[in-house]
Amino acid sequence: MWTAFSSDGSVLMGLTAKGRGSLEFVLDPNLGEVRAEDIVAPQSAKDLKISFHVTGQYKLSGQMGLNKDSLDRVTVTGPRLADISEPRMMTEILLPARLSRATRQPSVYDISLDISPGPPPPHRCAILCMSKERYDRFLTEKSKLVDTSEWECTDAFTNGSQVWVWTIRKSVRDKVIPRRYLVFFPGFPKWGQPINGGV
């Protein structure tokens, strides 16, 4: 993965793996589970890109809508980044059996997680945000970051008073290795509105 911190405090990241992306379902607090067949979500050929804006608008590459006249970028609403202190899962990626090999050597600015001592797949990559104080407490207590983990391998970047944490983990719930990357993007979905207020 690549990650960049913008001057306004927003955080951008994405996968270096190439491929096509599609939406499988959306969990909406008002509509319940909205399946792919009930969503207009054109398959995307763009590389996966995630934008965590300081305002709490979090966006994925790709579009979705409840009809073809209300397509907008895949967006969920969460807390403002500055308001996050307790660990919040920003996204989680279920990893396929084969990962793309890096095209360059790691530098001192990179995180490199060695999972070879850990259990066999399936694995997930959980990306969390929290305050530096909360992350320091996690390191001291040596506690799990995700309740359902049976094993975790963790490293982090510090961004001012906050820490962004990458955790490769084995979940007690996972039995099957996915054939592709599956991305879980928590938050309240924001549906696009029809152009010009049309129905």
Nearest in space to 86 (alpha carbons), one of 132, 28, 18: 132
pLDDT at 140: 93
* pTM flag (> 0.95): no
The predicted model gives 110-129 an average pLDDT of: 90
Share of the chain above pLDDT 90, in %: 48
With a cut of 80, say whether residue 151 has pLDDT above it.
yes
pLDDT at 56: 96
pLDDT digits (tens, 9 = 90+) for 87-119: 999 999 999 988 877 777 777 778 888 888 889
DSSP string computed for 68-100: GGG-EEEEEE---GGG--S-EEEEEEEPPSS-P
Domain ranges of the chain: 2-197
Q: If you ran DSSP here, which 8-state letter would residue 7 be given?
A: T
- The residue ranges of DSSP E strands in 11-161, in sequence order, are 11-14, 25-28, 32-35, 49-52, 57-64, 72-77, 88-94, 124-131, 149-159
How much is the CA Rg of the chain, to the nearest whole Å? 18
The predicted model gives 41-53 an average pLDDT of: 83
Confidence of residue 55 (pLDDT cuts 50, 70, 90): very high
